[in-house]
Amino acid sequence: ADPTGESAAAARTIAAVREVAEGCRRCPLWRNATQTVFGEGPQSASVVFVGEQPGDQEDLAGKPFVGPAGKVFDAILEEADVDRQKTYVTNAVKHFKFEPRGKRRIHSKPNAGEIQACRWWLDKELALVKPDLVVALGATAAQSLLGKAVPVTKMRGQVVEREDGLKVFLTIHPSFILRIREPADKDAERARFRQDMRAVKKLM
C-alpha cells in the first residue's frame, strides 16, 4: 500500500508533488537512500531531461545531476547553448540504489520493477510540466519513457513519438562518456553527445 497515493494524485504543482514524494514508499529503495531526489526546474519548461537515478552526490545534495555526470552534462549543455535553468531535469528513479564497498557506495542499476514503481512520479512530472520534448539520457530513461527496452546507442539522435503524442529524443547517458578511458574515443563520444544536445536546442 502506498500511504502517499491520494495526496500525490491531488497535487497540482511540481512543488506540491515534490513534497509528497519525500515520503515515497513505492519500492524499497527509500530504505538505504538519504532522501528522494526529485526533478528540478521551472514547471513552464519546454524540455525535460530524464536521467537514470541519483548518484552518490545527488543523494546527499537532494538535487539531480550535481555529481561527476552532472558536471559533464552541464559543460556540454553550455557548449550546445542550452540553458539548463530553463529546462526541467529529473531521473527515471528517484532514490539512489547502491552497494556499500568499504566507505564507498557503488551505484547499482535500478531493475524493471523499481523503474516501473517510480514511473508514477515521472508521469506526474510530465503531466504537470507538459514539455514539447523529453530527452531520454540513456537506456533506463528510455525504458521508463517508452515502456520497453530500446537500443539507445543505435537510436541516438532520433525522436520517437509515443502514443500519447509525447516526443522522446533518445541519446546516451553522460556517465557513458566518463567511463571511456581512451582519450580519442572519449573526445569522439563527447562530440557526439554535444551534437545531440545541439539537435535538442534546435527542437526547443
Distances (CA, A) of 13 to 40, 60, 94, 196: 12, 24, 18, 30
- One-letter identity of residue 60: L
Sign of CA dihedral 53, 59, 65, 71: negative
Nearer to ligand URA (CB atom), residue 26 or residue 90: 90
| CB 37, min distance to ligand URA, A | 6
Per-residue contact string for residues 57-86; x = within reach of ligand URA by CB under 6 A: -x-----xx-x-xx----------------
In whole angstroms, the minimum distance from the beta carbon of 7 to ligand URA comes to 25
- Asked if residue 55 binds ligand URA (CB under 6 A), the reply is yes
Task: Identify the bridge partners of residue 49 per DSSP, sorted by sequence position.
Answer: 89, 135
Residue 98 CB, nearest approach to ligand URA (Å) = 12
Asked if 143 touches ligand URA (CB under 6 A), the answer is: no
By the rule CB under 6 A, 117 interacts with ligand URA: no
- The answer to the question of residue 51 lying near ligand URA (CB under 6 A) is yes
53 binds ligand URA (CB under 6 A): yes
Q: At 126, is the secondary structure helix, strand, or coil?
A: helix
Three-class SS of 82-123: CCHHHCEEEECCCCCCEEEECCEEEECCCCHHHHHHHHHHHH
C-alpha cell at 119: 514511473
Pick from 91, 143, 144, 171 the residue near ligand URA by CB under 6 A: 91
Provide the binding-site residues for ligand URA, judged by CB under 6 A.
51-55, 58, 64-65, 67, 69-70, 91, 175
